[in-house]
Amino acid sequence: MPTPAAELLKAKLSGGGASDIKASSPLFIPPTQPLTPGKQLPTSVPLPVLPAVESAKRLAAFAAVDRHIGLQHKVIGIGSGSTVPYVVDRILAQGFEANKDRVFLPTGFQSKELIIKAGLTLGDVDQYARIDVTIDGADEVDNDLNSIKGGGACQLREKVLAEAADTWVIVADYRKNSHILGTTWTQGIPIEVAPFAYAKVLTNLSHMGSPQKLPNGKPGLTLRMGKMKAGPVVSDNGNFIIDAPFPEEMMKDPVDLLHKIKMLTGVVEVGLFCNMAKAAYFGNEDGTVLIRSDDGSVDKISSVPNTPELKAQVNDAAVP
């Protein structure tokens, strides 16, 4: 049965002005962008000028959606982070007909709110254990498409949706593109732990080689504390987050490090995502997008269209 939000979006696309649509819930924000001749909802026409980093995020997100979310994809995972709002923008721009039968699964509170406010149909991994495509951000990505995630404390749900997806794609800006993990993301690996076990896990990680203080003098291994609140950060699952940096020689083998940390009693999930990504899209300052694929190939595109071209896809390759 169509949701009220879907009916509102359909009314918009059938020709009614934005002023004719009244939100049935204060959580829903009706799209206000002008329509294209094809009755799609572009993110904007023309695309607004953004600061370099934000523009890079938008480019990466738009290119990933255009290449990996086709008309046949009906169950879509929406990740977390500062790049993901542009993913939702591009999906919404595909129009009502493309989205009316789709279900969108969030990795956390942020992406849940994005889905609801866009008027898209919200689902849960309890209902859809297999996902067609999940697109997510990352804190850092290495040469082999291994990544660090969890800067926003969503790594458990992010990994569940990544593993459930037939295709998992990373979107980020050029600052996240590294050779070795830990080069630019120096805060450490985010580790979600059961609250009653955090002190024991901190001790275990210290014995494994995570330093209390970084070479630059900044704090190393630590329990992540909240901002604008007293006490530690609490994840959507009610757990604590530990940030654990490790020496470069250990970060060169993230798979081994992942296994060792995951075996510690009290650890719920580790923010190392290894051998999972189909491709990573990095938006560059010059307006290009660097695409690194799991087969080792590297591609670069110079621009993305203002309005997505809807296509069917075969094996993640768009075809006319």
User: Exactly one of 140, 158, 192, 269 is catalytic; which is it?
Assistant: 158
Task: Give domain status of residue 8, yes or no.
Answer: no
Q: Is residue 61 in some structural domain?
A: yes
| 103 occurs within a structural domain | yes
Query: Would 305 be classed as within a structural domain?
Result: yes
One domain, residues 118 and 54: yes
CATH number at residue 258: 3.30.70.260
Only one residue has tokens 């294209």, namely 36
Q: Are 224 and 233 in contact (CB under 8 A)?
A: yes
Distance CA 145, CA 306 (A): 28
Based on the domain organization, do 160 and 301 belong to the same domain? yes
Same domain, 139 and 88: yes
**In this structure, is residue 166 part of a structural domain?**
yes
Q: Same structural domain for residues 69 and 170?
A: yes
Question: Please, how many CA atoms are within 13 Å of residue 205, restricted to the half-sphere of its CB?
Answer: 32
Give the model's pLDDT for residue 4: 55
Q: Are 79 and 158 in contact (CB under 8 A)?
A: yes
Helix runs in 100-143, H state only: 109-117
pTM greater than the 0.85 cutoff: no
Which pLDDT does position 312 carry in this prediction? 62
Q: CB of 276 within 8 A of CB of 168?
A: yes
Query: Does residue 75 belong to any structural domain of this protein?
Result: yes
| Same structural domain, 152 and 266 | no
pLDDT at 310: 75
Residue with tokens 């075969």: 314
CATH number of the domain bearing residue 293: 3.40.50.1360
236 and 314 belong to one structural domain: no
- Does one domain contain both 70 and 128? yes
Q: At 167, is the secondary structure helix, strand, or coil?
A: strand
Number of domain units in the chain: 2
Place of tokens 């009706």: 30
> Measured between alpha carbons, how far is residue 153 from residues 18, 112, 163, 189, 246 in Å?
36, 15, 18, 11, 19
Within this chain, do residues 103 and 153 fall inside the same structural domain, yes or no?
Answer: yes
Give yes or no: residues 155 and 282 share one domain: yes
How far is 286 from 78, CA to CA, in rounded Å?
27
Domain that holds residue 253: 189-271
Residue 14 forms part of a structural domain:
no
State whether 94 and 153 are in the same domain.
yes
In angstroms, what CA-CA distances link 13 with 67, 156, 242, 286? 24, 37, 46, 34
| Residues 217 and 295 occupy one common structural domain | no
Q: Is residue 11 part of a domain?
A: no
Whether 135 and 223 map to the same domain: the answer is no
What pLDDT score was predicted for residue 8? 55
Task: List average pLDDT for each run of 10 residues in the chain, which is 320 residues long.
Answer: 57 49 45 49 55 84 95 96 93 94 95 95 94 97 96 94 97 94 96 97 97 90 92 94 97 98 98 97 90 95 83 49
Known catalytic residue at 97: no
